Amino acid sequence: MSIIRTSIDIYAPPEICFDLARSVDAHVESTRGSGERVVAGRMSGLLELGESVTWRARHFGVTQELTSRITAFDRPRHFRDEMVKGAFARIVHDHHFEPLPDGTRMIDTFDFSAPFGPLGAIAERLVLTRYLRRLLDGRNRVLKRMAEGSSGSVQAG
């Protein structure tokens, strides 16, 4: 089991940041590098409590699918998505949004376990944690640009 924590300050209100972080369309835009796209579940708009989405992306030269479901939801403070099907043994991703005097601190806690027992644990330490941190940081930078350039609304789709 590994835990990645990231934080980024965004000059936009928590509501805008929260909605961008749960936007299927913003997710696709922020993960262009891996060609991530939706193949099942909510196809666009804002994910709500209990909804799921299945993503298809290419990582490490292999096309993979991952289905996650929103299992906790407290707009605009926190939501959680959890993997229900995919290559990992487990993924729990908490998204927290703390108000700041001039914006929002967006904090991600990405708790995951690779499959394959001890071999997976080695892969987590040697490769996966660094790779996933880069993905999360890159996605958060895109969300920051989107939020700071936002007119104040995110489409519900």
Residue 4 and residue 138: Cα distance in Å, rounded? 14
Distance CA 136, CA 73 (A): 20
The helix (run of H) or strand (run of E) holding residue 52 is strand 52-59
- Percent composition of the chain: helix, strand, coil (DSSP 3-state, to 5): 30, 45, 25
* Domain segments of the chain as ranges: 2-148
Q: Write the secondary structure of 89-140 as one string of H (helix), E (strand) and C (coil).
A: CEEEEEEEEEEECCEEEEEEEEEEECCCHHHHHHHHHHHHHHHHHHHHHHHH
d(CA 60, CA 125) in angstroms, rounded, equals: 16
Cβ neighbors of 95 (< 8 A, separation 6 or more) are 18, 21, 22, 78, 79, 80, 81, 106, 107, 108
- The listed CATH number (3.30.530.20, 3.40.50.720, 3.40.50.300, 1.20.1560.10) that belongs to domain 2-148: 3.30.530.20
Tokens 């490490």 map to which residue? 60
Tens digits of per-residue pLDDT, 51-108? 999 999 887 778 889 999 999 999 999 999 999 999 899 999 999 999 999 999 999 9
pLDDT confidence of residue 51: 98
Dist. CA 136–CA 7, nearest whole Å: 10
Q: What is the mean pLDDT of residues 4-12?
A: 97
Strand partners, 40: 54
CA distance 42 to 53: 5
- pLDDT recorded at residue 122: 84
pTM of the complete model: 0.91
Q: Residue range 31-50: average pLDDT?
A: 92
Per-residue burial over 104-115, b if 16 or more Cβ lie within 10 Å, else e, is bebbbebbbbbe
Mean pLDDT, the chain, as a whole number? Answer: 91
